[in-house]
Structure 1
Amino acid sequence: MPVLFRMKVIPLVLLLAMVFAFLLNWPVLLHFYDILSHLEHDKAGFVISIPFVLVAALNFVFMPFSVRYLLKPFFALLLITGSMVSYSTLKYKVMFDQSMIQNIVETNPQEAHSYLNGSIILWLLLTGVLPAVLLFLIKIEYPSKWYKGVAWRALSMVASLALIAGVAAIYYQDYASVGRNNSTLNKEIIPTNYVYSTFGYVKDTYFTTKEPFQTLGDDAKRVASADKPTLMFLVIGETARSKNFSMNGYSRDTNAWTRQIGGVISFANVHSCGTATAVSVPCMFSDMNRTEYSHKRAANSEGLLDVVRKTGVSMLWKDNDGGCKGACTRIPTIEIKPTADPKLCDGQTCYDEVLLDNIDQDISKMSGDKMLAFHLIGSHGPTYFQRYPADQRHYMPECARSDIENCTQEQLVNSYDNTIRNTDRVMAQMIEKLKQYSDRYNTVLIYVSDHGESLGEKGLYLHGTPYKIAPEEQTHIPMQVWMSPGFIAEKHMNMTCLQNNALKNAYSHDNLFSSVLGLWDISTSVYKPDMDIFHGCRS
């Protein structure tokens, strides 16, 4: 490989620290100075010191990895991955904690492809690939003796600490104040944020002793209806937020299809367990509430569907969103392939109508009481425009691109609202299908989204923000219920009571577990009547 120029190892590491500080950590510096711009008083020295402290800290962290044969491949990898993280942070305000790493690892190729666009490729080439190539063209000069190399590295690290200590001695109160009021800043520094989070995810996933598998609801019993069997559709939405549902007060008629059907109850105040599918879906099907939820425990335990299955209900999960994240592991599953239906799929993704393909055959293959769970692709971004057919472009102009930050707010909201309206259309089709079975079954549909979505509010896009600082747009989700007259009579459901509760009471994913068990009249020690949304409205 040709040599571009020569450089001693110690200044090279300092140069790398400066590249990360001023180029890849540009989003962090912008965030820092945005915070300072809102302070009534700030010291010029404190403001000037911020990039120097960042460079010194990175130099200290980088120095131990500056050994021969490791330096170039290690930092080339950090430059390329750091570039992608930097773009996501700058454009979408994504925070790379352990939950986000889990979400990335569990993303399927089709879903990942939707995030690619010209902007991110250009950014990656200029800020990641190009610096990595230049690094390999540098002839690094190492000290002739190993102990001299150790001494020079130690001296550089001590100098970095001395600079940080000197700044802290003068401006400690300023840094402490900003840090206390902005606890996420330390999680935004590239590459320490995603490297640390990835290490934690790998350790917890592959190098931690698994908990013994736990069964759930082994005492579950159910008395089947003496009238006719029950057919339940449980629909898991994707990335739908409550504030864009007209049934919850939104100015646009995004629930036009179900509004025409009538009988749909919309719960106005429901919150999710997480801000990403990888957390919310396994959490909502577990018997744990949000504050005690453990992904490790959920992965090694039975869940809601297992308990229902134990009582003799015939089960099926149909998925159009890349997997159930462990919630359906032990029940029959159909994963929709992106080539499943030429009319509804384009080879990379399918419209949610595809879930109704062969639905009559699916139902006929099941016996007795039946429960079908559908996992929608719903409003999954950033390619919102790919979630609805051309004839469903109701709100125009749309944002027909994946780099949504380059669309106008009007275009972005139009595309997103089209996804909500299309999901409503699919819900209406599912209800109409249940109506066709109402002479043979007591039928019911429950719809709930996994999490919400940010559409540029407060500079945030997409989802996945850590829950404790996540905006309402990412946690306030829609939930809807439709029941046939036969189901209402069988369950002695007071619909006026249910409608009133839907308007005034606050619920969350924590309620789903016991609410579904309650609708199936399953008695078990893991059922909690006070968490059952429907319990108080049954006479």
Structure 2
Amino acid sequence: MTRRPISALWLVLAASLWMTLVGNGALWQRLTELNLLAGSRGLAFGAALWLAIWALLAALLGLFAWRPTLKPTLVLLLFSTALARHFMASYGTLIDPGMLVNAMQTDWREAGALLNWQLLAGVLVLAALPAWLIWRQPVAYGGLQRQLWRNPAFSLAALLALAALVLAMFQPLASASRNNKDLRYLVNPVSSVVSVARLAARPFQHEAGPLQPLGEDAQLALASPTGSAARPRLLLLVLGETARSDHFGLNGYARPTTPALEREQVLSFRNAWSCGTSTAESLPCMFSHLPREEYLRRNGNYETLLDVLQRAGLAVLWLDNQSGCKGVCDRVPNGATDTTAASKLCSGGECLDGAMLEQLDARLAALDPARRARGTVVVLHQMGSHGPAYAHRSPASAKRFLPECTSNALQDCDPEQLRNAYDNSIAYTDQFLGEAIAWLRRNPTGTDNALMYVSDHGESLGENNLYLHGMPYAIAPDVQKHVPWITWLSPGFAQAAALSDSCLRGRADARVSHDDYFHSVLGLMDVSTHIYRIAQDAYAPCRQDANWAGRLPRQAAARQHAVPSGG
């Protein structure tokens, strides 16, 4: 049976209506929670908003109502609508540029952990089926001359309707959007389209071009505080993943999630904050010399902390058990865990974090011995507590809290079982950090050793119906930004760095952030450069070496606040 062709613009109206109807459940739920749809005025506001979304989508799609572009655009938006609907409804995810960056940088292991029958069913019913029907439907486009005036006229008419609807509901709309900034990210699929456009504009905003060098004057101090020859230092930087500060027992959490760290009597900054709510945001930011606000408005891109450490003559190594270093480690020796290694910690194409320690000695042996003689900085990038498959982030031996949620459909999990699974992942991080400290104690010899653990961001575990992470920073809950910052110093390292243990413990509640990460590492490794800011070194207030400031380059003392931001 031959199908009767329909007008391209009628197809635009029908597809826009479908996406408006099926894609915005999270928006209506949020408006209901805010009591904005109550009573006759609320219903009128809801109806006007629904029509406005339809008109906006129709205006957008009218620009693509041409034979080569219409069906591909509709199919793409249908799948975008279905996917966004699932993640907004299931995890409370908001679709903004940062979330799109996360999606683009997700590897197959992370993507696989998000697959479940609800996602597949939703995509099949809401996207694949209508896309198939659209693809089979004959469309009457009309002649080229007719399209040249009709398509723009259609979009203009839809925009005029949108303008009239916005004016009619301007007061409640302005109040709602001003007081609840998350609403703008819930308009589906408009939020996806806007986020793609903003993401595409970023290279122009930051004037992408040659990477600007950083710390070209970087050098190491050659003497210890006592005047004797300094021993090389080994600093293990552990980058935590998705760890919440308030789920660490040594930070006051009621559950015993950190017995190994407590036995080691580590130092913990309990008031530490991230510069992003996702790995893609936080890693480049924390390894930048710029504080968060300057980093966001920079014009151009700079080398990172690792480049400065390497320029100072240190050996640098990045070992990854996650989805990459987001460009931070591109110019230093780097690698990922060998998932094919004959280890009980590796199976199914991924490894538990302990595999990094198993493979570390061989990786270090491959570094330049002349650099290692000056000092070494090793970055271990954890899988940590990456969700939603929290149960996969800990071995059976570390599962102290049972039963645990084993599903990746977190909204269907019992809240207590979800907490158990997440806390087991924290308990395994505690075990891993304890093993890392034991490794530092025994190997290698002839160095003063230290460990600094800081997580990239936190996690939502169902509070206010939010799960996972990646919310826009301005409206993200504190649990996605409040992170653990833990330090272990060998006696030799503490003495060489002239750090007072009692002073550091007295600063446990002082506010620190990822803004301080770059400068704190430079201070711990005794690297002097004019870009170092002593005010952003979290350890500097407890340094007792009277001669330490004098070992900085002269310009560093005079130009603590003259770091170029490009902003």
TM-score by length of 1: 0.93
Task: Tell me how far apart the structure 2 counterparts of residues 413 and 74 of structure 1 sit (CA, whole Å).
Answer: 41
Return closer, same or farther for 1:384/1:5 CA change in 2, 3 Å cut-off: farther
Pairwise CA distance, 1:35: 2.5
Q: Please state how far the C-alpha of 1:147 moved relative to its aligned partner.
A: 4.3
- Distance, in Å, in 1 between the alignment partners of 2:501 and 2:205 is 50
Residues 52-80 of structure 1 deviation map (CA, whole Å, 9 limit, x = unaligned) = 22212222222121222321122012111
Aligned partner (choices 485, 506, 521) of residue 479 of structure 1:
485
Please, which of 372, 387, 406 is the counterpart of residue 400 of structure 1? 406
Counterpart for residue 8 of structure 2:
9
The equivalent position to 2:443 in structure 1, one of 429, 432, 437, is: 437
Aligned to 2:552: none
Match of 1:76 in 2: 75
CA distance in 1, matches of 2:205, 2:430: 43
- Alignment correspondent of 1:511: 516
Q: CA contact under 8 A between 1:438 and 1:484: conserved in structure 2?
A: no
TM-aligned CA distance change 1:5 to 1:119, over 3 Å? farther
Preserved contact between residue 242 and residue 457 of structure 2 (Cα < 8 Å): yes
> Within 5 A, what are the aligned runs for 1:384-423?
384-423=390-429
The answer to whether 1:460 aligns with 2:460 is no
Alignment of 1:300-315 (within 5 A): 300-315=301-316
Query: 1:276 corresponds to which residue?
Result: 278
Q: Which residue matches 1:120?
A: 119
How many Å apart are 1:306 and its aligned residue? 1.4
Q: Is the 8 A contact 1:341 1:354 kept in 2?
A: no
Q: What are the Cα deviations for residues 429-466 of structure 1, in whole angstroms up to 9, with x where unaligned?
A: 00011111386221100000000111111111111111
Q: Which stretches in structure 2 are left out of the alignment for 5+ residues?
A: 545-567
Does the CA-based 8 Å contact 2:8-2:140 persist in structure 1? yes
Give me the whole-angstrom Cα distance separating, in 2, the residues matched to 1:174 and 1:434.
Answer: 60
Question: Partner of 2:507: helix, strand, or coil?
Answer: helix
Q: What whole-Å deviation, never above 9, does each CA across 1:138-167 have from its counterpart, x for those lacking one? A: 222334x44444555455445434443443
In the alignment, is the contact (CA less than 8 A) between 1:263 and 1:483 conserved in 2? no
Which shifted more, 437-446 or 419-428? Answer: 437-446
How many residues are aligned here? 534
Q: What is the match of residue 179 of structure 1? A: 177
In 2, Cα distance between the equivalents of 1:405 and 1:4? Answer: 42
RMSD between aligned residues: 2.3
Displacement of 1:36 in angstroms is 3.2
1:64-103 alignment runs, 5 A limit: 64-103=63-102
Equivalent in the alignment of 1:256: 259
Q: Shift in Å at residue 12 of structure 1?
A: 1.9
TM-superposed CA distance for 1:403, in Å, is 1.5
**1:175/1:516 CA distance change after superposition, 3 Å:** same
Does residue 1:229 correspond to 2:232, yes or no?
Answer: yes
SS in 1 for 2:138: strand
Q: Which residue of 2 aligns with 1:135?
A: 134
Matches of 2:395 and 2:299 in 1, distance apart?
40
User: What SS does the aligned partner of 1:231 have?
Assistant: strand
Residue 269 of structure 1 aligns to a residue whose secondary structure is strand
- What's the counterpart of residue 328 of structure 1? 329
Could you tell me which amino acid in structure 2 is paired with residue 251 of structure 1? A
Identical pairs, percent: 35
| Larger mean Cα displacement after TM superposition, 358-367 or 324-333 | 358-367
* Mapped contact 1:97–1:197 kept (Cα < 8 A): yes
- TM-score (ref. length: structure 2): 0.89
Structure 2 CA distance for aligned equivalents of residues 164 and 140 of structure 1: 26
Matched, 1:288 2:294: no
Name the counterpart of 2:532.
527
Q: Which residue of 1 aligns with 2:186?
A: 188
User: Which whole-Å CA distance do the structure 2 matches of 1:159 and 1:447 have between them?
Assistant: 57
Which of 212, 215, 218 is the aligned partner of 1:214?
212
Q: Which amino acid aligns with 1:198?
A: V
The 2-side partners of 1:472 and 1:404 are apart by 20
What is the distance in 2 between the residues matched to 1:268 and 1:40? Answer: 46
Deviation string 1:17-68 (CA, Å, 9 cap, x unpaired) is 1101010222223223332358799444223322222212222222121222
User: Is 1:24 equivalent to 2:23 in the alignment?
Assistant: yes
Amino acid at match of 1:426: F
Change beyond 3 A, Cα 1:79–1:40: closer
Conserved in 1, the CA contact under 8 Å of 2:219 and 2:313?
Answer: no
Q: Distance in 1 between matches of 2:189 and 2:213?
A: 40
Moved more, 352-361 or 511-520: 352-361
Which residue is 2:360 aligned to? Answer: 359
Distance 1:482 1:405 in 2: 37
Judged with a 3 Å threshold, the aligned counterparts in structure 2 of structure 1 residues 285 and 154 are, in CA distance, closer, same or farther, namely closer
CA contact (8 A) 1:498 1:534 kept: yes
Report the secondary structure of 1:270's partner residue.
strand
> Which region of structure 1 is more displaced relative to structure 2, 509-518 or 332-341?
332-341
For structure 1, the residue ranges without an aligned partner over 5 or more in a row are none
Matches of 1:168 and 1:233, distance apart in 2: 55
Contact 2:243–2:483 (Cα < 8 Å) also in 1: yes
Counterpart contact for 1:75–1:132, Cα < 8 Å: yes
Task: String of CA shifts for 1:286-333, please: whole Å, max 9, x gaps.
Answer: 1011111149867x4221111112222111111101211111111111
For residues 35-46 of structure 1, the aligned pairs below 5 Å read 35-37=34-36, 42-46=41-45
Look up the match of 2:158: 160
Q: Distance in 1 between matches of 2:85 and 2:311?
A: 48
- Which amino acid in the other structure matches residue 238 of structure 1? E
| Residue 177 of structure 1, CA deviation | 1.6
Q: How far apart are 1:357 and its partner, in Å? A: 1.2
CA–CA separation in structure 2 for the residues paired with 1:38 and 1:222? 63
3-state SS of paired residue (1:65): coil
Partner SS state of residue 350, structure 2:
coil
CA contact (8 A) 1:316 1:333 kept: yes
Give the 3 Å change call, closer, same or farther, for CA 166–486 of structure 1 in structure 2. closer
Change (3 A) 1:4 1:453: farther
Which AA in structure 1 matches 2:54? V
CA separation of 1:438/1:152 partners in 2, compared to 1, >3 Å: closer, same or farther?
closer
Q: Secondary structure at the match of 1:240?
A: coil
- Which segment is superposed worse, 303-312 or 476-485? 303-312
Give the SS at the match of 1:514: helix
Preserved contact between residue 523 and residue 540 of structure 2 (Cα < 8 Å): yes
Q: Is the 8 A contact 1:438 1:486 kept in 2?
A: no
Give the CA deviation at 1:339.
2.5
CA-CA distance at 1:242 after TM superposition: 0.5
Please give the alpha-carbon distance, in whole angstroms, between the structure 2 residues aligned to 1:379 and 1:451: 11
CA distance in 1 between counterparts of 2:476 and 2:483 reads 13
Task: Assess if the C-alpha contact under 8 Å between 1:286 and 1:304 holds in 2.
Answer: yes
Residues 191, 3 of structure 1: alpha-carbon distance in 2 compared, 3 angstrom cutoff:
farther
Distance in 2 of aligned mates of 1:9 and 1:133: 16
For 2:203 and 2:270, locate their aligned partners in 1 and report how far apart those are by CA, in whole Å: 36
> Which residue type is aligned with residue 401 of structure 1?
S
| Structure 2 equivalent of residue 170 of structure 1 | 168
Structure 1 counterpart of 2:291, one-letter code: N
Distance 1:38 1:131 in 2: 30
Q: Residue 344 of structure 2 aligns with which residue?
A: 343
Give the match's secondary structure for 1:128.
helix
